Chain A
Amino acid sequence: METNTPSWASDTVPSVMEPRERSLEIRFTGSGSEYFRIWIVNLLLSIVTLSLYRPWAKVRRLRYFYANTLVDGHAFDFHGNPWKMLRGYLLVGAMLVCYSVAGQFSATAAMVAILILAVLWPALLRASMQFRLANTSWRGLRFRFNGTLGGAYRGMLPLFVPALAMAAMRFELVDPQHPTMAYIKHIYAVMGLTLLVAPLMWWMFKRYQHDHYALGQWQTRLDIGPGSAYGLALRIFGVSLLSGVVVVVIVAIVGAVAGGVGMLSGLGANKVLFFIVIMVLVLLGYMLALLVPVPYAMASGQNLVWNHTRCDEVSFKSSLRFESMFKLTVKNWALMLLTLGLYYPFAAVSFYRLRVEAIAPQLSGNLDLLQAQGAGVGDASGDAAGDLFGIDIGL
Chain B
Amino acid sequence: MTGAPSDPTPSALEPEGVAADYFDGRTARAHPVRVHVADRALVIADADGVRQRVPLAALQWPERTRHGARLMHLPDGASLHCRDSLAWDTWSADHAGRRDSVVVRVQQRWKWVMASTLVLLVLVFLGYRHLLPLAARGVVAMIPDSADQAIGETALQSIDENGLMKPTTLSYAQQQSVRDAFARAVARLPAADVPPYELQFRQSAIGPNAFALPGGTIVLTDELYKAVDGDGDILVGVLGHELGHLRHRHGMRMLVQAGVLGAAAGAIYGDFSTLFSQIPVLLGQASYSRAFEHEADVDAVRLMRADGVSPAVMARFFVKVRKAVASAQSASAPRLPHLPIALASHPADEERIRFFEDAARGQ
A residues with CB within 8 A of B: 1-8, 10-12, 14, 29-31, 34, 36-38, 40-41, 43-48, 51, 54, 60, 63-64, 67-68, 70, 73-75, 77, 79, 100, 104-107, 137-141, 176-177, 216, 271-272, 275, 278-279, 283, 286-287, 290, 336, 341-342, 344, 347-348, 367-372, 387, 390, 392
Contacts and interface: CB of A to CB of B under 8 A. Distances in A.
B328 interface: no
8 contacts: A30-B68, A63-B63, A67-B65, A77-B73, A290-B275, A372-B26, A372-B27, A390-B274
Contacts of A60: 63, 103
Contacts of B267: 46, 51, 54
A308 B26 CA distance: 28
Given A2-B53, A141-B23, A336-B276, 11 more contacts: A5-B52, A6-B44, A31-B67, A36-B113, A41-B113, A43-B120, A44-B119, A67-B68, A341-B269, A370-B28, A392-B271
A6 B52 contact: yes
B275 A286 contact: yes
Given A45-B103, A79-B73, A177-B161, A283 B279 contact: yes
B75 interface: yes
Nearest to B280: A341
Interface in B114-155: 116-117, 119-120, 123-124, 127, 147, 150-151, 154
B345 A275 contact: yes
Contacts of A12: 27, 29
Interface bracket on B? 35 or more
Interface string B15-27: 0000001011111
Contact of B51 (A7, A64, A107, A372): A7
A29 B67 contact: yes
Which of B81, B151, B270 has the most chain A CB atoms closer than 10 A to its own CB? B81
B79 interface: yes
B50 to A, nearest CB: 8
Contacts of A106: 150, 154
B69 A75 contact: yes
Contact of B344 (A8, A46, A271, A370): A271
Contacts of A341: 268-269, 272, 276
A51 B270 CA distance: 14
A139 B53 CA distance: 21
B151 A104 contact: yes
B316 interface: no
Interface stretch (B54-62, B90-98, B200-208, B233-241): B54-62
Contacts of A271: 344-345
Contacts of A141: 23, 25, 27-28
B120 A40 contact: yes
Interface string B253-287: 00100010000000111111011100100100000
Nearest to B30: A139
Interface stretch (B4-12, B104-112, B302-310): B104-112
Which of B48, B123, B272, B274 has the most chain A CB atoms closer than 10 A to its own CB? B272
Contact of A2 (B55, B68, B117, B336): B55
Contacts of A139: 23, 28-30
A14 B23 CA distance: 14
